[in-house]
Structure 1
């Protein structure tokens, strides 16, 4: 099915001020979070969801978080892994949905 561009109806278009504000927020979050890649954090989203994990990357509008599993007790693990057992599940979080990022002590 082909759609003629002349028939397309714009449902939403961000204003230039909104675009600039979102770019500014994205750039600020990149600057603030980049030094904490590979660090354990707690992230709270606008909808109230909270995630514990390790920041593994920040790219574009996404923060990639390796999510934590419940505490795991093994005496040979270092202090970080005594508190959290991390697995290979990476959760992409949209930067514009983030409310709070808290650095967790290791």
Structure 2
């Protein structure tokens, strides 16, 4: 009998337990903060250095949703497009007055 690849899959990557716990804690903390920013203008910077501005229209335990008119992603005709950002990739959230 010949073994199939699905019978014994090769693991390519496994996250370190300490790192995984840190990500879970950070995600939980950010979810609470994002909930407090609902319907407010924010500037968000990601760990990759990208910056976005918009109004927080939603968040959950994994994502932040901001309404933006950023033409870099949605073109010149995109008004009030929703951008979804992963919580653990956020570096800075700034409230804009």
TM > 0.5 between the two? yes
Match of 1:77 in 2: none
Cα distance in 2, alignment partners of residues 47 and 18 from structure 1: 18
> 1:54-65 residue pairs with structure 2 within 5 A?
54-65=55-66
Q: How many residues align?
A: 88
Structure 2 unpaired stretches of 5+: 72-77
**CA RMSD after TM alignment:** 2.0
4+ aligned runs moved over 6 Å, structure 1 = none
Residue by residue, what CA displacement relative to the aligned partner does 1:86-105 show, whole Å, maximum 9, x if unpaired?
A: 93310011111111100000
Which residue is equivalent to 2:7?
5
Contact map agreement 2:28 2:61 (CA 8 A) in 1: no
Alignment check: 8 A CA contact 2:47 2:90 kept: yes
TM-score (norm 1): 0.74
Name the SS for the 1:30 alignment partner: helix
Residue 39 (structure 1) shift: 0.4
Deviation of 1:5 (Å): 3.1
Cα distance in 2, alignment partners of residues 5 and 37 from structure 1: 47
Listed as ranges, the gaps of 5+ residues in structure 1 are 71-85
Taking the aligned partners of 2:66 and 2:46, their CA distance within structure 1 comes to 13
Structure 2 length-normalised TM: 0.80
* 2:88 is aligned with 1:104: no
Offset at 1:25?
A: 0.3
Q: Distance in 2 between matches of 1:36 and 1:24?
A: 19
